[in-house]
Amino acid sequence: MEEKKIKDQIDQTEKAAIDEVLIPTEEPQRQYYFIEKARRDLAELSAKAGRPLTFCVTTFGCQMNARDSEKLVGILEQVGYVEEPEEEKADFVIYNTCTVRENANQRVYGRLGQLGRAKKKNPYMMIGLCGCMMQEPHVVEKLKKSYRFVDLIFGTHNIYKFAELLATRLESERMVIDIWKDTDKIVEDLPVERKYSFKSGVNIMFGCNNFCSYCIVPYVRGRERSRDPKAIIREIERLVEDGVVEVMLLGQNVNSYGKTLEEPMTFARLLKEIEKIDGLERIRFMTSHPKDLSDELIEVMGNSKKICKHLHLPVQSGSSRILQKMNRRYTKEQYLTLVDKIRTAVPDISLTTDIIVGFPGETEEDFQETLDVVRKVRYDSAFTFIYSKRSGTPAAVMEDQVPEEVVKDRFNRLLKEVQDISAEVCAVHEGTVQTALVECRNDHDERLMTGRLSNNLLVHFPGDESLIGKLVEVSLDECHGFYYMGKMV
């Protein structure tokens, strides 16, 4: 069959025949081949349009998705597309979607309707959809039925094939759909275009094996796979050569890094290796699951000069009963003991968290336990979420779903508690001098620059753009709840 296909191609034009015969089977070479191919097709289209064609990638969801979008942008730029920040003006719009909560999905459908209308006016326009939502079969069915104007649909497991899928779409008029159920493959060394010159996310692992009972991520991101430590170190070394001073190591559960490798390795050891990279100034990571946070890691954090003084440690609920139903595999007491241990080893660490309100069966007493944890830990900040039912997860079919008004009331009470505490906690650093990595010009006042402290808080201070990407000493003069006003010293 394969031979016949190749022979048929040879019988066509010679150029097409050579293309087909030479398609590499190994990655990433195969994708570089398709980048070239798409480049030729796009150049023809641009010539016809009489202008360069543009793209806009819109990212929903977490940092993992943000990093994936940088990979899409890397390929689009190599293919010859030019970035257009305004979605409505772009010739190729890609939504990198999230499905962790239902409202994320609704936003995508709403905006897709608007894009469909824009497409009618622009003959060169293409629409691509990828990311976690696409891994849900009912979503793809709905798109095939009611959103026929979408050009390209792919999932989270085959994002590395983006160049190939794009080349396929450029050569045909049909909707291209390619979704994989799961994968054990990790493709290294594809192009990527960073949003910031001085900092970068770095995937250290993909997928999740935890199956928290409310969460859809394990179903849409697949099984846990760790990247080879050598590939991670090599990537960071190259980033540093290219001007990066801060990396954010990314994984759904970084504390279980390395367990699935042929030569198992711990996250703490990986951090020690990364710390040795000359020129790298700051290391961040997310997310840490409390059940896997080891003493070894706490020790490494305590001794490190580069690991930032910030730990995001999602608690989800303060009730041990609810935590068990959530399949989090720790109790309220274990969580609080862990926090104490971390604070002893790294006294000035900033702690942040994620909390879900209204998990099925949550009573007022359970909710009081959550407030109790918030008061005891005194988080620097917390992301609070209303429980969202995700079909296919165990929690979706649990009894006692909590009525909406009750959840909203609890949510508001929680938010107030979290905000009051975080304003107090933030004020603790007022009057100190700290190192900030200068990230950008301030949005509201162009005389000011914005820098990020080791503890992840922002400080605004007078300065100019030449400071971007530099580490500077800033006095934190006034605390404004969630940020500081200061000056360079």
Residues engaged in binding ligand F3S (CB under 6 A) = 61-62, 64-65, 98-100, 132, 217, 220-221
Q: 42 vs 382, which CB is nearer to ligand F3S?
A: 382
Residue 390's binding partner out of ligand SF4, ligand F3S, ligand SAH, none, with CB under 5 to 8 Å set by partner kind: ligand SAH
Q: Which residue has the tokens 């400080």?
A: 459
Phi and psi torsions of 451, nearest 5°: -125, 155
Task: Establish how many alpha carbons lie within 13 A of residue 454's alpha carbon, considering only the half-sphere containing its beta carbon.
Answer: 21
Cα 199-205-211 angle, rounded to 5 deg: 125
Residue pair 330/216 in contact by the 8 Å Cβ criterion: no
Query: What does the alpha-carbon distance between residue 323 and residue 91 come to, in Å, rounded to a whole number?
Result: 47
Q: Is 356 in the site for ligand SF4 (CB under 6 A)?
A: no
Q: 61 vs 191, which CB is nearer to ligand F3S?
A: 61
What is the number of other CB atoms lying within 10 angstroms of the CB of residue 263? 7
Task: Determine the 3-state secondary structure of 280 from DSSP.
Answer: coil
The closest of 379, 364, 390, 388 to 415, measured between CA atoms, is 379
Does 56 count as an annotated binding residue? no
Residue 198's binding partner out of ligand SAH, ligand F3S, ligand SF4, none, with CB under 5 to 8 Å set by partner kind: none
Nearest distance from residue 211's CB to ligand SF4, in Å? 6
The number of residues that bind ligand SF4 (CB under 6 A) is 10
Q: Is 245 in the site for ligand SAH (CB under 6 A)?
A: no
Q: Which residue has the tokens 């994936």?
A: 68
Count helices and strands (H / E) in the chain: 15, 19
Residue 485's binding partner out of ligand SF4, ligand SAH, ligand F3S, none, with CB under 5 to 8 Å set by partner kind: none
In the chain, the amino acid numbered 133 is M
| Antiparallel, parallel or unpaired: β 350-357 and 381-386 | parallel
Residue 388's binding partner out of ligand SF4, ligand SAH, ligand F3S, none, with CB under 5 to 8 Å set by partner kind: ligand SAH
Residue span 212-231 as binding mask against ligand SF4, x where in contact by CB under 6 A, dash where not:
x--x-xx-------------
* Residue 263 neighbours by CB under 8 Å, 6+ apart: none
Q: 125 vs 357, which CB is nearer to ligand F3S?
A: 357
The closest of 373, 375, 353, 363 to 410, measured between CA atoms, is 363
Phi and psi torsions of 303, nearest 5°: -95, -10
Q: 59 vs 434, which CB is nearer to ligand F3S?
A: 59
The piece of 193-201, 210-218, 227-235, 474-482 that touches ligand SF4 (CB under 6 A) is 210-218
Q: 139 vs 192, which CB is nearer to ligand F3S?
A: 139
Nearest distance from residue 354's CB to ligand SAH, in Å? 3
Q: Is 243 in the site for ligand SF4 (CB under 6 A)?
A: no
Does 308 count as an annotated binding residue? no
Binding positions for ligand SAH, rule: CB under 6 A = 100-101, 214-215, 217, 252-253, 287, 289, 314, 316, 354, 356, 385, 387-388, 390
Binding site feature residues for [4Fe-4S] cluster? 62, 98, 132, 208, 212, 215
